[in-house]
Amino acid sequence: MAYGSVKVDQIITSTQTVTVDNFLNGSAGSVTNTMLAGSIANSKLANSNISVGGLTFNLGDTDATPAFNLSDATDYPTSSLSGTITNAQLAGSIANSKLTNSSVSLGGVTVNLGATDATPAFNLSDATNYPTSSLSGTITNAQLGGSIANDKLANSTMSVGGLTLTLGATDATPAFNLSDATDYPTSSLSGTITNAQLAGSIANSKLANDSVSFGGVSVDLGASDATPAFDLSDATNYPTSSLSGTITNAQLAGSIANSKLANSSISLGGLTLSLGATDATPAFNLSDATNYPTSSLSGTITNAQLAGSIAASKLAGSIGDSKLSTISTAGKVSGAAITSGTIAGSTAVSTSGSISTSGLVKGGTLAVGLSAVSSNVDLDVTGAYAGNKVTMSGTSVNCSTGNYFCHTASSNTTYSFSNVPASGRAYSFTLEVYHTGGSLSWPSAVKWPDDSAPSVSTGKTHLFVFVTDDGGSRWRGVSSIDYAN
C-alpha cells in the first residue's frame, strides 16, 4: 500500500515537510549543523572539560586572567560544543537505545526505527484523502452516490500530532506535535536541535572538532597535558612574576630602556653618566687615582697644581721654551738662570731692580722701572747698543716697528705716523729721506722751530727727528738737511 504525504511543521522553530511514505519506511539521515539550536549542556558530553597547563576549564566557563594571557594567540578552535553541530559531527549511527522514542505507531501498527513492515495492516477507518488510485478491489455504485460531502461521513476530519484538519481543508504549515515520532530523516530537518533533544553522551568521534590547540599544543577533549610546551612567540601581557628560570642574552630583542633597569647609570670620579649617554670631556675627580701615564696628559700644569718642590732628578732633560709661560713669582728666576746667555722672545721683561748682562737683550719691549707707582731705576749699558733700520715702502711711519726709518721721496709726499706709544711715555724716531723730487708735507700735529717747516732741496738727503710724550697728539720736529748723497 502507498500513502500520500503530510506536510509537517518544524520540530522547534522552522518549517519542514514530512513525507509519510519516508516517515514510515524507516529511512533516516543525519542531523545537520543548522538543526541544532541552543547550548548543549556539559552533562550531555562524555568529556566536558580540558586541562591545560595544570588548569582545568569546563566547557562554557570563563577565566579572564588565566596564568597565561593568550589574547593575541591564533588558531584557537571556535567550536566549544555550544552553538550548532554539523552533519559531519554526527556521522556515526545513533543506537535506538540512546533515543527517548525509537518507534512510531500509526493506524494500530507499531514499527521500531530501522525495522520494516512491507504490508502494514493499518486501521484506516479514520483516514481521509487516501488516493483511490491506490485502492485495491472495487467500490460499488451504492458506495459512490455522486460526491460524498463531509457531512455524509461519520468522520470528516483527521487529527495528527495534535492537529485536526477537516477533509478538504488545507494547512500548508501544520504545527504537528512529533514528540513521539521516529525515523524522521535528518536531511529534511530545518531549524536547530536543543540540548534537551540530545540524550546520552556524544563521543569525540561524533564531533567534527574534538580537540583544542594553543600555541602549537593540541589537546583532545577529555585529555590532559600538565606541562604543555606552548609557543608564546606572539603572546603578550604574560606576567613576569610567573616566569621561571633565566632569560638569556639571545632572548632579548631590541633595546632595554633605562627605565626598566634597577640601576641605569654609573658614577666614577664624582661624575654620573646614564647608560647610553655620552660625555666627551668628563670632569673626573682623579685626586685618588694612580699610575696615570704622563704621556697621556694634555694641557699644562699650573703652579698651584704642584705640591712641594720638584727635585732635579724628577726632570728629564731640559724643558723646552715652548713649554714655559710667564714666570712672575719673585725669586723664582735668579742667579745663573739670567746672568749669562741670552734673554730672548716676544714678551716683556719687567723689573724694578737691575738687569745685568754681557750679551744681548733683544726681542720685544724691555721695560725697566715702569711700575704703577714710580720709575726710578736707571738703565746702564756698558758697550754699544743698536736698533733696527726700517726701510719704508709707503709714507706711513709705523712707530711700533723701530726708531730709525728710511724713505725715498720722488714726488709730492705727505707723511703720517701710526701705532704711537700711549700718552705718558716718551717716544722719538729719526726719518732719513732721500729726496729726488716733489714736496714734503707733515702731519698737522708736528711743531717746528719758529713754527716753520724746513725747506729742502732735491737730490739731497735729509734727517728729521720727531719726539712726542702724549701719544702723538703733538710732535716736536727738528731737521738736519741737504746732506750730499
Distance CA 124, CA 122 (A): 6
Q: Please name the residue that has the C-alpha cell 604543555.
A: 228
Distance CA 6, CA 413 (A): 143
> If you average pLDDT over each of 7-11, 148-152, 196-200, which comes out highest?
148-152
Confidence of residue 67 (pLDDT cuts 50, 70, 90): confident
**pLDDT for position 18:** 47
C-alpha closest to that of 48 among 19, 85, 82: 82
* pLDDT for residue 414 is more than 70: yes
Which of the 8 DSSP states describes residue 480?
Answer: E
Say if CB 407 and CB 432 are below 8 A apart.
yes
C-alpha cell at 141: 455504485
What is this structure's pTM?
A: 0.31
C-alpha cell at 111: 514499527
pLDDT in tens, 228-262: 999 988 999 989 888 898 888 877 777 788 888 89
* pLDDT for residue 472 is more than 90: yes
Which residues, in sequence order, are bridge partners of residue 45? 202
Lowest mean pLDDT, pick from 67-71, 227-231, 400-404 = 67-71
Confidence of residue 340 (pLDDT cuts 50, 70, 90): very low
* pLDDT for residue 358 is more than 70: no
More confident residue, 283 or 464: 464
**pLDDT for position 363:** 47
pLDDT in tens, 70-103: 667 788 676 665 666 677 766 678 899 988 999 9
**pLDDT for position 17:** 52
Q: Please name the residue that has the C-alpha cell 478491489.
A: 137
How wide is the angle at C-alpha 12 spanned by C-alphas 6 and 16, nearest 5°? 35
pLDDT in tens, 160-191: 989 998 988 999 999 989 889 898 888 888 88
267 SS3 class: strand
> Which amino acid, 350?
S
**pLDDT for position 92:** 74
Q: Please name the residue that has the C-alpha cell 707723511.
A: 415
105 SS3 class: strand
Per DSSP (E only), the strands in 324-402 are: 349-351, 366-368, 389-391, 396-398
More confident residue, 350 or 461: 461
* pLDDT for residue 302 is more than 90: no
**pLDDT for position 465:** 98
Q: Please name the residue that has the C-alpha cell 455524509.
A: 152
Residue 183 φ/ψ, nearest 5 degrees: 60, 25
Percent of the chain exceeding pLDDT 90 equals 37
Beta carbons within 8 Å of 106's beta carbon, 6+ residues apart: 24, 120, 122
Distance CA 24, CA 114 (A): 10
**pLDDT for position 331:** 58
Residue 464 φ/ψ, nearest 5 degrees: -125, 135
pLDDT in tens, 359-378: 555 544 555 544 443 444 56
Which residues, in sequence order, are bridge partners of residue 405? 390, 431
* pLDDT for residue 109 is more than 50: yes
Among left, alpha and beta (phi > 0; psi -120 to 50; other), residue 204 is alpha
**pLDDT for position 325:** 57
**pLDDT for position 31:** 66
**pLDDT for position 441:** 96
Lowest mean pLDDT, pick from 202-211, 360-369, 416-425 = 360-369
pLDDT in tens, 421-450: 999 999 999 999 999 999 999 999 999 999
**pLDDT for position 318:** 59
H or E segment and range at residue 9: none
249 SS3 class: helix
Distance CA 260, CA 258 (A): 5
